[in-house]
């Protein structure tokens, strides 16, 4: 069996990815990252790359929620779903789960841990 070779897909990244942040694989084919904050960009974006058809996409965050943007967040896979752990200092964290992939309204805060 031959190893695959490197190739360029010719697509530019829509944002600057944070290499120190977690990335997570969902459905065995979609990689996800949170973007870096730009100099004039307060909002961090949630971006995916589909290994099957190779586009980058922005994934919607919870409505009216600046959690992923303004707080330290880590992406995780919980039960096969894209999820995020959002840290509010040392005393509290929230766990959000996207129950239906790509659907903004399906984000649910499953856990609120701490004071």
Question: Would you kindly state where each structural domain of the chain is located, as residue ranges?
Answer: 24-114
Whether pLDDT at 110 is above 90: yes
Q: Report pLDDT for 64.
A: 59
SS3 assignment, position 101: coil
Beta-carbon count within 10 A of 75 CB = 21
User: How would residue 109 be classed by pLDDT, with cut points 50, 70 and 90?
Assistant: very high
Q: Report pLDDT for 30.
A: 93
More confident residue, 26 or 9: 26
pTM of the complete model: 0.81
Of 66, 62, 76, the closest CA to residue 105 belongs to 62
Q: Report pLDDT for 35.
A: 81
Q: Report pLDDT for 4.
A: 73
Of 87, 102, 99, 89, the closest CA to residue 46 belongs to 102
Residue 109: exposure state from Cβ atoms within 10 A (0-12, 13-18, ≥19): middle
More confident residue, 88 or 100: 100
In tens, the pLDDT along 28-79 reads 999 998 887 666 666 678 889 898 888 888 899 887 555 565 667 889 999 9
How far is it, in rounded angstroms, from Cα 17 to Cα 107? Answer: 22
SS3 assignment, position 49: strand
């Amino acid at each position: 069996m031959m190893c695959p070779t490197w190739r360029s897909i010719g697509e530019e990244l829509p944002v600057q990815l944070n290499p120190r942040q977690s990335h997570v694989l969902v459905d065995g084919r979609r990689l996800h990252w949170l973007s870096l904050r730009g100099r004039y960009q307060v909002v961090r974006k949630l971006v995916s790359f589909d290994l099957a058809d190779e586009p980058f996409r922005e994934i919607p965050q919870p409505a009216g929620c600046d959690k992923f943007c303004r707080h330290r967040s880590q992406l995780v896979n919980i039960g096969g779903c894209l999820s995020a752990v959002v840290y509010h200092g040392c005393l509290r964290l929230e766990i959000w789960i996207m129950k239906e992939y790509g659907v903004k309204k399906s984000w649910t805060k499953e856990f609120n841990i701490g004071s």
